Amino acid sequence: MLAIKKQALASASRVLFRTNVLSGLAAGAARAYHSKLYKSSDEAIEGVKSGNTLLIGGFGLCGIPENLLKAIARRKDIQQLTAVSNNAGTADYGLGTLLQSRQIKRMVSSYVGENKEFSRQYLGGELEVELLPQGTIAERVRSGGAGIPAFYTLTGVGTQVETGGIPIKYNKEGEVVIASEPRETKVFNGRKYLMEEGIVGDFALVKAWKGDELGNLVFKYAASNFNAPMATAGKITIAEVEEIVPVGELKPNEIHISGIHVHRILKGETYEKRIEKLTLRRSAEEESELPEAMKQRIHIIKRAAREFQDGMYVNLGIGMPVLASNYIDPSITVHLQSENGILGMGPFPTAEEVDADLVNAGKESVTVLPGGTCFSSDVSFGMIRGNRLDMTILGGMQVSSRGDLSNWMVPRKMVKGMGGAMDLVSAPKSRVVVTMTHTSKDGSPKILQENTLPLTGVQCVDRIITDKCVFDVIPNKGLLLRELSYGQTVDSIRASTGCSFEVASDVAETY
């Protein structure tokens, strides 16, 4: 019994000592720590060499490590890089400058978009491009950082992501010389899944709003995007920040990335914080003066806005669909999600509301409504894959009578990349609505018996809304004509549609 009492007293003494030490620290006692602070971006990239794999944070130009990329561009001896990034900025800024200087051998991306130099080098056989779904990149990087070698996902099942054959490298004659490999598959609960491997980089280059000398990071608004997962997946992570704050100023519950992941940190020398697509809210008078093509898009999207129901969580795809945020019935609440890390997205801003750290998936300036939240890309796609969304509205190039969707590539001619579309249409409980013009510019139909372009998703579309009509996709049956746009008839729809369809008994002109 005496021995037990002595042990208890000793334990109490240790607890008391530890409590006093912690109290001293909390009271502001001096604490020695190893500083990770570097003086410049040139100094911070020491050790980066040719052939390295770099994980590059940011989304478009939002949250990109501007200064670190400039430092890499100044080092012309660094060549043959593999860059893992959602996209490559613009032709003249961000990661695009490393394309211009020919320092990149391979891009691992989800979206080429409007970067003409990116597209030109890829289609011209000068650059290897491994195109992957956006959510797959985010999860592969997150998994790599978490020590998970591989995982299974529904994203890409039934497409060339599964079967292989997506062009990675063309030759000068436009022939495919390197193509993607087929994925291993496995069935869980009656559904097929693809296996994807985790990604780890030699270096991760990320950008945050604030940080301290221990490497703790805080992001601002939607600039968390790919920065957060990539910060965890670099063998060496280098973070540039707008502001270095004293250790202890960042409260523990404010920190987004713990310093354990960050090896080097610096205050960025200068920041331009460009906005790729500065987009402002339009008045009704301004809408009336728009070109006919834009009026046609607005006509489609106003009808699409009728799909919203009170309390819905909805993702709006880039391009035409995102316009729907401006036409929500004010009597209902709709929570708009943007896959780059926003929930509670509002309309386009006024000139006074513009913030470079708030952009949507189309890289356009946006607002966030009261109660909205911002988070990283891996968290965003976890919401999508986890069936948290009630509906997604996407653009389309082609839709088949079975509801197959194509919207990311015209082989050898035009490459948008799949972006987040494959992830969005693979969520089995989310309603998928496609908005598009009924025909191409040459008058050829976009609604077909069979898609001729690479697939985004198989039998995934529930409703099609065009400038001419509304179709529902009925499983195992085909298309049902539900509504007509003003001035259209059943016969005019048959003449401009590339497959047969049934007509609802109550079909009428409604928009």
User: Which residues are known to be catalytic?
Assistant: 339
**Cα(93)–Cα(256) distance, integer angstroms:** 27
Task: Tell me if residue 222 falls in helix, strand or coil.
Answer: helix
> How many other C-beta atoms can be found within 10 angstroms of the C-beta atom of residue 186?
10
43 φ, ψ (degrees, to nearest 5): -70, -35
DSSP state for residue 282 in the 8-state scheme? P
Closest CA to 305 of 317, 285, 321, 287: 321
CA nearest to 219, candidates 184, 235, 243:
243
Could you give the angle at the alpha carbon of 219 between the alpha carbons of 264 and 241, nearest 5°? 40
Q: Six-digit token pair at 268?
A: 């960025």
Report how far apart, in Å, the C-alpha atoms of 212 and of each of 61, 132, 190, 230, 246 are. Answer: 24, 34, 49, 18, 6
Tokens describing residue 297: 């898009």
Pick from 57, 414, 419: nearest CA to 206 = 57
Beta pairing class for 335-338 and 264-267 = unpaired
CA dist 62 and 223 (Å) reads 6
Could you tell me the maximum CA-CA distance found in the chain, to the nearest angstrom? Answer: 99
**C-alpha dihedral (245, 248, 250, 253), degrees to nearest 10:** 170
Question: How far is it, in rounded angstroms, from Cα 159 to Cα 187?
Answer: 16
Which among 130, 135, 131, 165 is positioned nearest to 153, based on CA atoms?
Answer: 135
